[in-house]
Amino acid sequence: DADVTQTPRNRITKTGKRIMLECSQTKGHDRMYWYRQDPGLGLQLIYYSFDVKDINKGEISDGYSVSRQAQAKFSLSLESAIPNQTALYFCATSDSGVTDTQYFGPGTRLTVL
């Protein structure tokens, strides 16, 4: 089984709809992240959480919110989706050690019409 899972894997929605993307991990890591990937723009950090009670904004948090329901679960919400939020979204985890090696989920492809 995958260490980091994301649901759904693909989603098509309409402008103005509320969307939630979910992430679960079995690695026992404290740190979790949500990234957005657009072609040619690499990975942009949306939000990150270093433990269950810690939530921090990343580079592009406007229009997004998150919830850390448990150590293993970190969800990303788009309160009112807009077309320029069409992108590939990745969840990742890392331990709190020196390396900060990040383990990524398989991604969720979101299309907002």
In what side-by-side order are the strands of the sheet with 4-7?
A: 4-7, 19-25, 73-78, 64-70
Q: Radius of gyration of the chain from Cα atoms? A: 13
Q: Is 25 in the site for another protein (CB under 8 A)?
A: no
Could you tell me the maximum CA-CA distance found in the chain, to the nearest angstrom?
Answer: 42
Phi, psi (rounded to 5 degrees) for 84: -75, 5
User: Distance between CA atoms of 91 and 11, rounded to whole angstroms?
Assistant: 15
Q: Given candidates 1, 40, 53, 62, which one binds another protein under the rule CB under 8 A?
A: 40
User: Contacts with another protein: how many residues (CB under 8 A)?
Assistant: 22
In whole angstroms, the minimum distance from the beta carbon of 70 to another protein comes to: 21
Angle at 18 between CA 12 and CA 24, to 5 degrees: 80
Q: Given candidates 13, 73, 107, 111, which one binds another protein under the rule CB under 8 A?
A: 107
Q: Is 41 in the site for another protein (CB under 8 A)?
A: yes
Q: Is 63 in the site for another protein (CB under 8 A)?
A: no
Q: Given candidates 7, 26, 106, 113, which one binds another protein under the rule CB under 8 A?
A: 106
Q: Is 101 in the site for another protein (CB under 8 A)?
A: yes
Q: Is 1 in the site for another protein (CB under 8 A)?
A: no
The tokens of 58 are what? 């990343």
Interface residues with another protein (CB under 8 A) are 4, 35, 40-43, 45, 48, 56, 59, 90, 92, 98-107
